[in-house]
Amino acid sequence: MSKNLIRVGARALIVFLAGALAATTLPLQAQPGKASTPRAEPLVVGFVYVTPVGDAGWTYQHDLGRRALERSLGARVKTLAVESVPEGADAERVMRDLVGQGAKLVVATSFGYLEPALRVAADHPEVRFEHAGGYKTAPNLGTYDARYYEARWLGGYLAGRISRSGIAGYVAAFPVPEVVQGINAFALGMRAANPRAQVRVIWLDTWFDPAKERAAAQTLVDRGADVLTNHSASPAVAQAAQANFAERRVRLVGYTSDMRAFAPDAQAAAIVHQWGGFYTQVATDVLERRWKPAPVWGGIASGMVDLTAVDPRLPADVRNDVAARRRAIAGGAFKPFAAPLVDNTGQRRLMSGTLDDAAIRTMDWLVEGVVGQVPRR
C-alpha cells in the first residue's frame, strides 16, 4: 500500500469519527420541542377558607381573588383551596397539609386563623404566610387587611339619605375591632346625613349561620329598621331585605359582594371586597424573591374595597352626593373617624383631629347613635 493511500485512509477515518461524534451529540443539544434549561416549577399557593365558597360573601370574594391570581400568572402558579375550615385546631391541620402538598405560600383568610398560622409558620420557615387581619407577624408571616370602614361610612351616608324611619339594622358576627369599626363608620355616615339616625345592632357570635343571620335581620326590621346591612358571611340578610321590600320598602347596603342576585329590588348599593390585585402582587413577590412580612392595610384608593352597584333608580342628587364623598375619601381629603367623636354612653373619645391607625385597629367602643353594646369576650 502506498503512502498516499495510507494518508487518504487516515483522513477518511477522521472524517468518519467526527461525523459519528456529531451524530451522537447534536440531537442532545437541539432536540425539537425541548428547552435547554429545566422548566421552573409553579409556585403552589394554598388558601384556607372559613365558610363554603358559595355564590356571594366573604369567602366568595377571596375565591374570586384566587381565580384572578390564576388568570394573571398562569402556569407560574398552582392554587389549592380548602373551604369550611373552623378556626382553631382544624385550621392548623389544614395548613400543615397544604405545606405537605408543596405550598410555598399559604393564605389564611379568617381572623381566627392567626395563632394556628403562626405555629405552622414557625415550623416551616421556607414557606410564606399571609393572614387576613390580625395583630401579630413573624419573619415569614405577614398580615393584610382593608379599610372596610371607608366604604362603610359611604354606605351609612347613603342609608341616611334614603331611610324614611332613620333606623338601620346591623347584623354583626363577632365583636372584633374590624366589625366594630364597620358599625361605627356606618353610624357616623348615617348621622352625617341625618343627625337623629340610629343604628341598631344584633350580634351573632358566628361568621356563618344563614338561619341565624336571617332571623336577626327580620328582628331588626320588626324593630323599625328600613335599611339593613351586615358583617356576616352569607346572603341571608340580603334575602331578608328582599323579602321585606314589597310591603315595608326595606333597602339593603350589601356587604362583601354585590348582592343584587339575592336582593334585586332591595339593594341600594354594595360594599365589595376585591382581592385579585393583592394576591397577584404577593405571589409575584414570592416568585421574584422580594416578599417581606409587611402589614398591608388598603382602602378605596388601593382598590381593596369600594362602594359599588349604586342603584341607578335612586335620585341623581343622592348618587352624585355619594360619589363626591367617595372621591374625598379616596383622595384623603376626608377621614371617616374625625373629631368630634362621642361614644354611645356620652363619653368624649376624640375632640380634635382624627383617630390614628393604632386607635382604629383596637376599637372596642360604639359611637353615639348606635343602639347596642360591644360584648366582652
Helix (H, G, I), strand (E, B) or coil at 142: strand
Which triple of cell numbers denotes residue 141? 408571616
Rg of the chain on CA atoms, in Å: 29
The reply to whether 293 and 307 lie within a common domain is no
Tell me what pLDDT residue 134 has.
82
pLDDT of residue 376: 85
Task: Indicate whether 309 and 230 sit together in one domain.
Answer: yes
Tell me the C-alpha distance between 89 and 6, whole Å: 84
**Grid coordinates given for 61:** 370574594
Domains identified in the chain, total number: 2
On whether residue 333 sits in a domain, the answer given is: yes
**Other CB atoms within 10 Å distance of the CB of residue 376:** 6
Query: Within this chain, do residues 258 and 113 fall inside the same structural domain, yes or no?
Result: no
pLDDT digits 0-9 by tens, 47-58: 999 999 999 999
Are residues 317 and 235 part of one domain? yes
Q: Are 140 and 128 contacting, i.e. CB atoms less than 8 angstroms apart?
A: yes
**Statement to judge: residues 239 and 335 lie in one domain:** yes
Q: For residues 327 and 347, give the distance between their C-alpha atoms in angstroms, rounded to a whole number.
A: 31
Asked, for residue 286, whether it belongs to a domain, the answer is yes
Collapse the DSSP code of 259 into the 3-class scheme (helix H, G, I; strand E, B; otherwise coil) and give the result: coil
Residue 141 shares a structural domain with residue 259: no
Identify whether residues 85 and 197 lie together within a single domain. Answer: no
237 in the same domain as 107:
no
Residue 142 has a pLDDT of 97
Residue 334 lies in a domain: yes
pLDDT one-digit tens code per residue, 262-321: 999 999 999 999 999 999 999 999 999 999 998 999 999 999 999 999 999 999 999 999
Q: Say if residues 267 and 252 touch (Cβ distance below 8 Å).
A: yes
Residues contacting residue 291 through CB under 8 Å, at least 6 positions apart: 128, 142, 282, 285
> Do 287 and 313 fall within a single domain?
no
Beta strands in the chain (DSSP E): 43-48, 77-82, 105-108, 128-132, 141-146, 167-172, 198-203, 227-231, 251-256, 267-273, 296-298, 305-308, 341-342, 348-350, 370-371
Q: Is 11 among the domain residues? A: no
CATH number, domain of 350, equals: 3.40.50.2300
Same domain, 102 and 236: no
What was the pLDDT predicted at 91? 97
- Domain residue limits at 241: 148-265+302-371
Question: How far is Cα 36 from Cα 29, in angstroms, rounded to an integer?
Answer: 7
Assess if residue 6 is contained within a domain.
Answer: no
Q: Does residue 4 belong to any structural domain of this protein? A: no
Residues 91 and 142 grouped into a single domain = yes
Task: Assess whether 288 and 328 both reside in one domain.
Answer: no
Spans of the chain, pLDDT less than 50:
1-36
